[in-house]
Structure 1
Amino acid sequence: MGKVVDVNVALDVIRDGDVIAVSGFNMATTPEYLLIRLYERYKETGHPRDLFIVTDTLPASRGRALDLIAERMIRDNDFGFIRGFMITFFGVAPSLQRLVIENRVEAYSFPIGVATRWFRSVASGVPTITKVGLGTFLDPRQDGIYLNGLARERRTCRVELISINGDEYLLYDCPKPRVGLIRGSTADEFGNLTMSEEAIYGSVLAITQAVKAQPNPGVVIAQVLYVSRFVNPRDVHVPGPLIDYIVTSPPEYHTQSASVRYDPSICGRVVVSNACLPNNDKPNFEYVIARRVVLEFVRLIEKLGRPIAVNLGIGIPALVAKIIRSEGVDDYIVTTVESGPWGGIALSDDDFGVAISPKAILPMPDQFIMYEGGIIDAASLGFMQVGPNGDVNPSFLPERVTGPGGFPVIVHGSPRLYFAGAFTAGKRDIAVVNGRLTIIRDGQIIKFIKKPYKVGFNAELGLKMGKEVLYITERAVFRLTGEGLVLEEYAPGVDIERDILAKMEFEPIVSRHLQPMDDAVFRDGPMGLLEVVEKAVRR
């Protein structure tokens, strides 16, 4: 009793130098009110200061939550509030990226699935050991998890190469959090917390467990929208004894995603019909890429004779879910998003991580066990650069810090990888006209290059693990082999020499069976895939 308190009473327990665990996948499950009020207390009193933040993903979006705090730190030239953080993804937080690049705070980055496992490991009192990251930029023989000079100097978090029975592994570690800032929808007066209106579960329970574990159990503060005299026991996600303080938030600081305050279809209370969703009747070049990915999924269903579960990454792969729904094959191709949703329509950009009308929502640590263990059938992820042997740089550039996100865990575990993205980058004008690809103005940035800036997918290790790997673009499809990339398909309307080979820094192997891409991906109207998959599953 007495757990429901004013926000200042709750935040008063936070001390200078504390390690604070914060939930949040972009704005989903982000306790924005607690973060903003904590920063305001620092500005008013000078305390708490020198905080170290550890997260499961990114409790922010552009100009919101931690990114807003970073923006104000830069504006005021005052960097005493946060001394460092371990954040797994910075893609939609430009001010946080600036703090890293300018070396204002020490910055570390685990893959999301490693971070979620780390919270559970802290709760269990065991180390976090995995093969995820071997042979990539996360490997301490390359960059490690250290994003700037302060991190490399202080090593508050660390990654080490270890050997177990002759096999290589990576050990990831950060200091145990003393405070947890989490979020739920409703709490009763005893502190029992539900997630009934949240878009995802995230790692809320795992963070709570890590804070409360021995030695030195800490303090958990939960942000909610509602306080009730009673909640259904079956709806409780975090039991009351694990929560010390409950703080009610103004609605503007408690949104399901960056742009959605509340939508019942996002938290699973209603299911919208196909009529409410966008179609893909007139494909542009990005839809061509996504359609080609869907065709590969359909071929996999034909091969296996059953429905499949797949992961979709951010960017063009997120379009795949819309095509799957518009083709009516979403009962056969069940898409997953790393934050926890299964099925439905994944949203993009700052709203990535939530889905319209998901069939199921898992806690994020459980979702990543699915990925790391290869329990899903395939994954489609974006790419920024591809090297001659098939290595992939997903998102890193010298002037931009994104963090690994979920990419390293997914490419490690998934048995089939369909990298999907535009063939070139930069300003371009590429159209689909009369079933043919027309390149009016091509992008000037080459993406298939001799040496990727950083390696997120190690193709050599992928081949050793027996993975099937394709690189799907609007004009060409490549396959990974032991000899390198093989060009297997080209788009109708393109000149292979001028539009493909001349726009690569290396020469791929051209298949003896080189053929045009399926013209269905370039035609107006649906591709008629439902009949194909129904026949494949019935046989």
Structure 2
Amino acid sequence: MIEMNKIVEAEEAISKIPDGATIAVSGFNCLIAPEYLLLKLYERYKETGHPKNIFLEVNPIPTAPNRILDKIATELHNDNDQDFLAGILVTYPGWSPTLQKMIQENRIEGYTWSIGTASWFVREVARGLPGVITRVGLGSFLDPREDGGYLNDLAKEKRRCKVDVVKIGGREYLLYQAPKPDVAFIRGTTADEIGNITTEKEGSFTEILNLAQAIKAAPNKGVVIAQVERIAKYPSLYPQDVKVPGPLVDYVVVAPPEYHKQSANIQYDPRISGEIIPPMDPRLVPKLPLNTRKVVARRVLLEMVNLVKREGRPILVNLGIGIPSDVAGIAIEEGIQDYVFTTVEAGAFGGIALGGADFGASIGPFAIISQPDQFANYEGGIIDVASLGFLQVDEKGNVNPSLLPGRLPGPGGFSVIAYGSPRLLFAGHFTAGKSEIKAENGKLEIIKDGDIKKFVKNVYKIVYNAALGLEKGQEVLYITERAVFRLTKEGLVLEGYAPGIDVDRDILAKMEFKPKVNSKLKEMDERLFKEDTMGLKDEL
């Protein structure tokens, strides 16, 4: 008799995975992460020695510090003879310090792409194409003429994943290629007996459908295993709620609650899945104290308000991690959240984006779409503006958001967003290191400055290529607590400075290069440096 019921114990599903398999795993940090399947996969290896030499493709990474994959990496790092994990393609290894160490120590192959590129990769594989063709990454560390996405020497030797330069119509593009996965671990909330998967209690559904399609694409059809919280009778699920149709799923495993958290620190909050939309009350967001971080975020919001005025409509934006993530809270504080529609890489529109290891989730989004579709909004320039953080900026305007010797956080979504957004507001502190800087009474006071220069002659790694941005016609500002620069064909131009500081002493002397200075150099708005709200609602 043909068995229709796909609900099985984890051990039975995991037993179908062969040695040397390439396993694609869903998960934006702990959102939609099938942690129970990862745990059972590793437990089977410890018990039987199989499957071994697996290769993981994750986007960005299905873990957080001290969660399952990070704990597995810690055990593997302590085992010099481990043959469980051969390598990984990961877009943001930052949430697993021990996984980073394994890559840095050349213990496993390490490759990285940007989140959007990796999201589109599984769609292209599902279509039978060799990989993703895009201009994202040209002239950056992802370009094969630079680092090519290789994170260590073992990856350069094995070349399991690779990036090549191709020409189409006389223009350069990058072709990103990786192995077609043999197995997919995906996650949803509910499954019925034939394997239909819904995601009603999840904060995102990323690319779970495309992962299943990539596995089932010809010529080598693999195995799709879904982790869920609960089982429903077939055919009781509402068809429009089904994110992955049953014929694309081979096995369904019910996970214990501790391995099915909504995000790293939240078991379940209906506001994150959109089941309840709370009023955007300022009390939902703790009011930020007046400090340099708030000054920068306010200045970013001012630029967005100016764009709303010019366009005569609400705008669609992306806010990166770090200081840009504070902009949404300040918009609520100012009562203008209905004029600035935020988006998050994992798929949410609107609401309040969470930070830290819960990044990817939003409280009270008004829409949640797939991750590849969200990145089409970024790469295609559908959004109006993006604000992203920076670690270093050089005299040409190139940006390094996070890469330094000994650090391996990966590009995350930065590369795609920075490439595609028509307007960019890079936001960060002017210097790094221990400092004491006060914002009060409409002025900035530098008592002790940071001793690390962030505006440098050459960035350590180029992640945003300014020349490509200029070619595309992007409008680019670099916003700090004391200075605002604009990108031009002649390099950076200083356009604004904080009241209370000396331009030569506090800005120009703290840079490794001399920017041009606008002949109409202006003081930054004193409202940025005061306790009261800026009154932006009245302006709009």
Residue 456 of structure 2 is aligned with which of 436, 449, 469? 449
Change over 3 Å in CA distance of 1:134–1:281 after alignment to 2: closer
Q: What are the superposed Cα offsets for residues 21-62 of structure 1, whole Å, 9 maximum, x if unpaired?
A: 000111111101110111111111111110000122111111
Name the amino acid aligned to 1:466: G
Residue 84 of structure 1 is aligned with which of 63, 84, 87? 87
Q: What are the superposed Cα offsets for residues 425-450 of structure 1, whole Å, 9 maximum, x if unpaired?
A: 12222222222222222222111001
Residue 221 of structure 2 is aligned with which of 214, 217, 223? 217
Larger CA deviation: 422-431 vs 389-398: 422-431
Larger CA deviation: 417-426 vs 275-284: 275-284
The 8 Å contact of residues 280 and 287 in structure 1, kept in 2 or not, is answered as no
Name the amino acid aligned to 1:350: A
Give the aligned length: 533
The 8 Å contact of residues 26 and 185 in structure 2, kept in 1 or not, is answered as yes
Q: Show the counterpart of 1:56.
A: 59
The reply on whether 1:247 has 2:250 as its aligned counterpart is: no
The reply on whether 1:256 has 2:262 as its aligned counterpart is: yes
The reply on whether 1:403 has 2:410 as its aligned counterpart is: yes
Cα distance in 2, alignment partners of residues 427 and 347 from structure 1? 26
Cα distance in 2, alignment partners of residues 75 and 428 from structure 1? 38
1:6-155 correspondence to structure 2 within 5 Å: 6-127=9-130, 128-155=132-159
The 8 Å contact of residues 74 and 99 in structure 2, kept in 1 or not, is answered as yes
Q: Show the counterpart of 1:531.
A: 538
The 8 Å contact of residues 282 and 525 in structure 1, kept in 2 or not, is answered as no
Q: Show the counterpart of 1:335.
A: 342
The reply on whether 1:176 has 2:183 as its aligned counterpart is: no
Q: For residue 75 of structure 1, report the CA deviation from its aligned partner.
A: 2.2
Indicate the SS of the match to 1:76: coil
1:356-375 correspondence to structure 2 within 5 Å: 356-375=363-382
Residue 312 of structure 1 is aligned with which of 314, 319, 332? 319
Q: Show the counterpart of 1:4.
A: 7
Q: For residue 154 of structure 1, report the CA deviation from its aligned partner.
A: 0.3
Q: For residue 337 of structure 1, report the CA deviation from its aligned partner.
A: 1.0
Cα distance in 1, alignment partners of residues 80 and 229 from structure 2? 33
Indicate the SS of the match to 1:99: helix
Cα distance in 1, alignment partners of residues 160 and 287 from structure 2? 48
1:420-431 correspondence to structure 2 within 5 Å: 420-431=427-438
Cα distance in 2, alignment partners of residues 525 and 155 from structure 1? 56
Q: Show the counterpart of 1:537.
A: none
Cα distance in 1, alignment partners of residues 532 and 200 from structure 2? 38
- TM-score by length of structure 2 reads 0.97
- TM-score by length of structure 1 reads 0.97
Cα distance in 2, alignment partners of residues 154 and 281 from structure 1? 48
Q: Show the counterpart of 1:186.
A: 190
The 8 Å contact of residues 288 and 294 in structure 2, kept in 1 or not, is answered as no
The 8 Å contact of residues 190 and 198 in structure 2, kept in 1 or not, is answered as yes
Change over 3 Å in CA distance of 1:78–1:354 after alignment to 2: farther
Residue 477 of structure 2 is aligned with which of 461, 470, 473? 470
The 8 Å contact of residues 346 and 352 in structure 1, kept in 2 or not, is answered as yes
Cα distance in 2, alignment partners of residues 491 and 65 from structure 1? 46
The reply on whether 1:412 has 2:419 as its aligned counterpart is: yes
Cα distance in 2, alignment partners of residues 245 and 386 from structure 1? 49
Cα distance in 2, alignment partners of residues 420 and 363 from structure 1? 27
Gaps of 5+ in 2: none
Q: For residue 361 of structure 1, report the CA deviation from its aligned partner.
A: 0.9
Cα distance in 2, alignment partners of residues 111 and 490 from structure 1? 34
Cα distance in 2, alignment partners of residues 254 and 441 from structure 1? 46
The reply on whether 1:207 has 2:208 as its aligned counterpart is: no
The 8 Å contact of residues 416 and 469 in structure 1, kept in 2 or not, is answered as yes
Q: Show the counterpart of 1:536.
A: none
Indicate the SS of the match to 2:210: helix
Cα distance in 2, alignment partners of residues 271 and 500 from structure 1? 44
The 8 Å contact of residues 89 and 402 in structure 1, kept in 2 or not, is answered as yes
The 8 Å contact of residues 279 and 326 in structure 1, kept in 2 or not, is answered as no
1:251-290 correspondence to structure 2 within 5 Å: 251-273=257-279, 274-280=281-287, 282-290=289-297
Cα distance in 2, alignment partners of residues 528 and 162 from structure 1? 51
Cα distance in 2, alignment partners of residues 385 and 277 from structure 1? 33
Residue 294 of structure 1 is aligned with which of 276, 295, 301? 301
Name the amino acid aligned to 1:113: G
Cα distance in 2, alignment partners of residues 155 and 400 from structure 1? 22
Q: What are the superposed Cα offsets for residues 325-365 of structure 1, whole Å, 9 maximum, x if unpaired?
A: 22121111101111111111111111111111111111000
Larger CA deviation: 464-473 vs 491-500: 491-500
Residue 167 of structure 1 is aligned with which of 160, 165, 171? 171
Name the amino acid aligned to 1:72: E
Cα distance in 2, alignment partners of residues 103 and 281 from structure 1? 42
The 8 Å contact of residues 352 and 365 in structure 2, kept in 1 or not, is answered as yes
Cα distance in 1, alignment partners of residues 508 and 95 from structure 2? 33
The 8 Å contact of residues 27 and 257 in structure 1, kept in 2 or not, is answered as yes
Q: What are the superposed Cα offsets for residues 293-332 of structure 1, whole Å, 9 maximum, x if unpaired?
A: 0000000111111111011111111111111122121111
Cα distance in 2, alignment partners of residues 461 and 477 from structure 1? 21
Cα distance in 2, alignment partners of residues 251 and 359 from structure 1? 26
* CA RMSD in angstroms, aligned pairs only: 1.2
Cα distance in 2, alignment partners of residues 217 and 136 from structure 1? 35
Name the amino acid aligned to 1:195: T
Q: Show the counterpart of 1:512.
A: 519
Q: For residue 279 of structure 1, report the CA deviation from its aligned partner.
A: 4.7
Name the amino acid aligned to 1:410: I
Name the amino acid aligned to 1:495: D
Cα distance in 2, alignment partners of residues 114 and 65 from structure 1? 25
The 8 Å contact of residues 106 and 150 in structure 1, kept in 2 or not, is answered as yes
Name the amino acid aligned to 1:94: P
Gaps of 5+ in 1: 534-539
Cα distance in 2, alignment partners of residues 33 and 281 from structure 1? 37
Cα distance in 2, alignment partners of residues 401 and 452 from structure 1? 16
Q: Percent identical across equivalent pairs?
A: 56
Q: For residue 383 of structure 1, report the CA deviation from its aligned partner.
A: 0.5
Q: What are the superposed Cα offsets for residues 148-197 of structure 1, whole Å, 9 maximum, x if unpaired?
A: 00000000011000111211010001010110000101111111101101
Indicate the SS of the match to 2:496: strand
The 8 Å contact of residues 192 and 240 in structure 1, kept in 2 or not, is answered as yes
